[in-house]
Chains A and B, each alone.
Chain A
Amino acid sequence: MAGKPKLHYTNGRGKMESIRWLLAAAGVEFEEEFIEKKEDLEKLRNDGSLLFHQVPMVEIDGMKMVQTRAILSYIAGKYNLYGKDLKERAWIDMYVEGTTDLMGMITSLPFQPADTKEKNLALIIERATTRYFPVYEKALKDHGHDYLVGNKLSWADIHLLEAILMVEECKPDVLSAFPLLQAFKGRTSNIPTIKKFLQPGSQRKPPSDEKCIAIVRKIFHI
Chain B
Amino acid sequence: DGFLLFQQVPMVEIDGMKMVQSRAIANYIAGKYNLYGKDLKERALIDMYVEGLFDLNELILTYDYQPADKKEQHLAAVVDKATNRYFPVFEKVLKDHGQDFLVGNQLSRADVQLLEILLMAEECKPDILAQFPLLQSFKARISNIPTIKKFLQPGSQRKSPPRQEDIPEIIKIFY
Contacts and interface: CB of A to CB of B under 8 A. Distances in A.
A78 B40 contact: yes
Nearest to B14: A90
Question: Which among B15, B48, B86, B89 has the highest number of chain A CB atoms within 10 Å?
Answer: B48
A159 interface: no
A135 B44 contact: no
Given A51-B52, A87-B17, A98-B5, A69 B24 contact: no
B21 A86 contact: no
B21 A97 contact: yes
Interface string A123-137: 000000001100100
A169 interface: no
A86 B31 contact: yes
A87 B55 CA distance: 26
Question: Which secondary structure characterizes the binding site on chain A?
Answer: helix
A168 interface: no
B43 A74 contact: yes
Interface stretch (A5-13, A59-67, A110-118): A59-67
Given A52-B85, A87-B17, A73 B24 contact: no
A66 B24 CA distance: 19
Contacts of B47: 67, 69-70, 73-74
A93 B44 contact: no
A31 interface: no
A73 B44 contact: yes
B27 A77 contact: no
Contacts of A67: 47-48, 51-52
B160 to A, nearest CB: 27
Given A65-B48, A70-B47, A93 B21 contact: yes
A101 B89 contact: no
Interface in B1-27: 5-7, 15, 17, 19-21, 23-24, 27
5 contacts: A52-B89, A70-B51, A73-B44, A90-B28, A94-B24
Interface of B: 5-7, 15, 17, 19-21, 23-24, 27-28, 31-32, 40-41, 43-44, 47-48, 50-52, 55, 85-86, 89
Interface of A: 51-53, 61, 63, 65-70, 73-74, 77-78, 86-87, 89-90, 93-94, 96-98, 101, 131-132, 135
